[in-house]
Amino acid sequence: MKAAPATARVIAVLAVLHMLAFIDRNLLAGVLPLVRVETPMNDAQAGWLIGTAFALPYAATALILALVMRGRRASVWLLIGGVVTWTAGALAMAAAGSVLSFSIARGLLGVGQGMFVPLAVAWLVDHADARRAPALATFASGATVGRSIALLLVGGILWLLALVIADSRMAHWRWVLALTAIPNLLILPMLASAPNKAPAAGEHSAAPPWGTLTAFFGVAIAPLVEAQAIGGWLPTLFVRQAAMLPAHAATLLGVVTLLTGWTGQAVAGWALSRHSRLVTALPQLVLAALAATLIPLAVLTHVHALGAMVACVVAINLMLGVSAFAGLFGVQALIPAAARASVNGVYFATVTLVAVGTGPLLAGLLAQGGLSIAAALLGTATIATIVCALTVVINRAAFKRARWSAGRLAPPLARH
């Protein structure tokens, strides 16, 4: 069964907005070397701005949302409010001139996206019917595409500005942050006509399996810790290790991620929608793909040739995509429909607080302690993998008993 045309259009809009959310979230990492010329900060402060300053308000907003949305379906108007709020934060970053003002702007960005992302996933799963798995994969891929486009935009806009307004009194990186916020408002009216699904009879009585969910959160979040650290520090790594200009590094990484970063989510989404037996092995799948990223990360600490570094990034993107999507799919598969908006608020608050809040910061602290950026990323990934492995082993009995079909994300799952 295919989604109705109106629903399919909204799914596409949500995927595009998710992409735009990650563009606005990740632009700061791309322009960071230029920002630090004008606004002095050490590596630990930079890690704070990339991750923690965004993560804390995001997590607080998502948790409040979880309380407000208990037993309720996702609201389109809250989605719109989230987009408007994060756009205001993106514009505020363009005007920031100190670590404090950057922190405030990143916080506003976090509040808006803390409203949008959990509700967008809940709306998508509620309305996509039989195409939930590929629709969720498309939405999840928006994060990777947005991250790569952010880097491309940094390189492209900086190059264009250098030609058009070379003598601008406003720093070019400020123009980058301001101009990229405009598409958010242009696409926003397309959400206004989105349908809202009413709860089914008896739906409010369904309770989420909090014990299993909490344990699986630890598995699902581990690859995201690594992904956030890598996404935040890769541009700086290429600037330092490959001796590239910031604009060139951003452009190269943007192209590489745009071409290959979404493949992991696509492959995992395709496989899970067609082979229901894989669902019972989701914790092991997350762990195996996450552990596989340690190999290219270890190689990255020893190579300086640009081609070899790019090959490592491609391998990391592929395996992280598989691992991260398997985690997201598993969380949604465990949530009853009535609890989806509320539980997603808790999940994405936890994701952002732990992954966004600690991933870049941990890598920054390791680098501040004397490690190279590549070694700091390997250290961060190793810690994430160990935590994931311990969680899988300790909770293996609970995961084996879990009703992975509870979310009914794809027709084959309903038979289990």
pLDDT category at 199 given cuts 50, 70, 90 is low
Of the pLDDT bands very low, low, confident and very high (cuts 50, 70, 90), residue 1 is very low
pLDDT digits (tens, 9 = 90+) for 266-299: 888 888 877 777 888 899 999 999 999 999 999 9
- On the 0-12 / 13-18 / 19+ scale of CB atoms within 10 A, 51 is buried
Give per-residue pLDDT as tens, 202-225: 445 467 788 999 999 999 999 999
Is residue 88 pLDDT above 80, yes or no? yes
pLDDT exceeds 70 at position 303:
yes
pLDDT mean over 77-103: 92
How does residue 300 score in pLDDT terms, banded at 50, 70 and 90?
very high
> Which of the listed CATH numbers 1.20.1250.20, 3.30.360.10, 3.30.930.10, 1.10.260.40 matches domain 5-193+204-415?
1.20.1250.20
Identify which of 97-111, 119-133, 254-268, 332-346 has the greatest average pLDDT.
97-111
- Give mean pLDDT, residues 343-372: 85
| Spans of all domains in the chain | 5-193+204-415
Answer with the residue of higher pLDDT: 142 or 21: 21
**Which residues have C-beta within 8 Å of that of residue 103, sequence separation ≥ 6?**
48, 49, 53
Indicate the pLDDT class of residue 302, thresholds 50, 70 and 90.
very high
DSSP string, 235-294: HHHHHHHS---HHHHHHHHHHHHHHHTTHHHHHHHHHHHH-GGGGGGHHHHHHHHHHHTH
What pLDDT score was predicted for residue 104?
95
What's residue 307's pLDDT? 94
Q: For residue 92, how far is the Cα from the chain centroid?
A: 21
